[in-house]
Amino acid sequence: MLSSLFLNQNALTIHNCPTALDFLNVLYIFANNGWTDANISRDTITLTAEAAPFNITMLNKVSRASIGVISALTYKYHQLLFSFPGGDDFCDRPIDLHLEILATISNYQYDASAHTFYAEKKDTLNRNLVLNCYGDGSKSVGAFFNALSLAYVYPNALKINGLSQDPTILFLISLLERSTNRVVIHTAPDRILLPAVDALAARDCQVTLPPDMTMLVSYVLLLWDRLETIAFTNVTISEIPPNYAELFENFGLALAEVDHALIFRKVAPINQEYFEFLRLGPPPQITTDLGPIISEFLAFHNIPAILLDEVFGNRSSHIPELQKLGINLKSLRNGALKTQPRSKPTSNQNGVFDLNDIRAGMAIIMGLAHTQIPAAVLLNYDQLLRGFGNIQSALSLSGYEGDIYR
């Protein structure tokens, strides 16, 4: 989005925008820095470029994905100041691949005292590039975003190695071809070639964002007891990736589409064998974001399961909070979560619950709804709003209303 937006002065219209705070914070930073002018109508936003971005460190703090535009912005505007994704204190997530891609078109240096990077475009550069998105044997979606973003500003040929099967990748490639005169040639299942163009040409672009599968799965499981009376709007069956369609099938669900909305029906028992050992990770596996969420659902229903998270081994803050409700999980080595038999809730079941993580927070909310706890005080509720801006509406369907206090 950033690369397409800042390529020229054309307007970029984005439909089906999320209401999550993380996305709204990104829009605020755009406007606060004078980078864009925005026109918002319901779930559609039209952005036009204004000032050229230079210091994007605040954007990096609120959007980890923004590390994926450092190369394109440096090449386009010659200089860029940026920080680690999520800020320097987020985690030890490596950005080696991003820096390797950046080094192909610029020089950069790191200021350890300020935890910032300064990049400056190389004076002369007129060659074809080979960009690598492989890291530790896996394919990095973020690095691919960084590499593909260069195609919006770099007219020479680009070879990109390490094409992931993530649906996001196919969406980004389609967006590039629709919004510019670049052609993408798939030379192998994991490689693409973008031939050089005489000059880059951009068109006005209207983008409809695909559905957030983490949000869809979460709400399907949260509203399980009255699922067949609820329609999920702005999503079609064709937009459900095959691995998620398989997940829904093993939950015993059939999908129907009515007026651009999904209807779920329970047609079979949950396939417990499928969940005995569920590996989470990069596509074609289910995203690791769903680890806490699916684990709560399975534990509440007393379904024996082990969920192995290949990326994050520390998403377990929901475990002690769910134990207050009698929903038991055990954290194993290497990030695995194992469901345990349910027990009686503690005397604190009407007490305080700490939502100190987006996904774990959703798992706790699900636990409250599934056990039908009458009332609760939820700390750090803004963490949940970061990823689920319409959670209040979903909770109201479960019979819960509440006030947010600062």
- What is the separation, in whole angstroms, between the first and last Cα of the chain? 32
pLDDT at 107 exceeding the cut of 80: yes
Are both 54-195 and 213-397 of the same fold? yes
Q: What is the pLDDT of residue 179?
A: 85
Q: What is the pLDDT of residue 215?
A: 93
pTM: 0.82
Q: Which residue has the higher pLDDT, 293 or 169?
A: 293
As a whole number of angstroms, the distance between CA 5 and CA 233 comes to 28
Q: What is the pLDDT of residue 205?
A: 78
Is the sign of the CA dihedral 303, 166, 4, 30 positive or negative?
positive
**Position 105 confidence tier, pLDDT thresholds 50, 70, 90:** very high
Furthest C-alpha separation in the chain:
71
183 touches 193 (CB < 8 A): no
Q: What is the pLDDT of residue 91?
A: 47
As a whole number of angstroms, the distance between CA 337 and CA 277 comes to 10
List, for residues 174-207, the tens digit of each pLDDT value. 889 988 899 999 999 899 999 999 998 887 778 8
Q: What is the pLDDT of residue 211?
A: 86
Rounded average pLDDT over 79-101 = 79
Q: Where do the H-state alpha helices sit in 153-312? A: 167-179, 213-222, 242-250, 291-300
As a whole number of angstroms, the distance between CA 216 and CA 231 comes to 11
Enumerate residues 6+ apart whose C-beta is below 8 A from 363.
292, 293, 295, 296, 318, 322
147 touches 130 (CB < 8 A): no
Long-range pairs for 164-173 at CB < 8 Å and ≥24 separation? 164/133, 164/139, 164/140, 164/282, 164/283, 165/283, 165/284, 166/141, 166/282, 166/283, 167/210, 167/241, 167/283, 168/141, 168/210, 169/141, 169/144, 171/210, 172/144, 172/145, 172/148, 173/148
Q: Which residue has the higher pLDDT, 63 or 253?
A: 253
Distances (CA, A) of 75 to 30, 64, 299: 19, 20, 50
As a whole number of angstroms, the distance between CA 160 and CA 144 comes to 8
List, for residues 310-335, the tens digit of each pLDDT value. 766 667 899 999 999 999 999 987 77
307: phi > 0 → left, psi -120 to 50 → alpha, else beta; which? beta
List, for residues 124-180, the tens digit of each pLDDT value. 677 899 999 887 667 788 899 999 999 999 999 999 999 887 778 888 898 899 888
Rounded average pLDDT over 213-241 = 92
**Position 15 confidence tier, pLDDT thresholds 50, 70, 90:** confident
Q: What is the pLDDT of residue 5?
A: 65
**Position 21 confidence tier, pLDDT thresholds 50, 70, 90:** confident
Q: Which CATH superfamily is domain 213-397 in?
A: Enolpyruvate transferase domain (3.65.10.10)
As a whole number of angstroms, the distance between CA 186 and CA 192 comes to 4
List, for residues 360-388, the tens digit of each pLDDT value. 999 999 999 999 998 899 999 988 998 89
211: tokens are 């559905």
Other C-beta atoms closer than 10 Å to the C-beta of 399 total 9
**Position 406 confidence tier, pLDDT thresholds 50, 70, 90:** low
Domain ranges for the chain, please list them: 54-195, 213-397
DSSP calls for 81-101: EEE-TT-TTS-----HHHHHH
DSSP calls for 192-225: EEE---SS--B--EEEEPPP-HHHHHHHHHHTGG
258: tokens are 């009515």
pLDDT at 86 exceeding the cut of 80: no
Helices (H) and strands (E) in the chain, counts: 14, 22
Q: What is the pLDDT of residue 27?
A: 86
Q: Name residue, tokens 């300020």.
A: 114
Query: Domain 54-195 is in which class?
Result: alpha beta
Rounded average pLDDT over 109-117 = 92
Q: What is the pLDDT of residue 312?
A: 65
52 touches 78 (CB < 8 A): no
Amino acid at 13: T
Rounded average pLDDT over 57-65 = 88
Enumerate residues 6+ apart whose C-beta is below 8 A from 404.
381
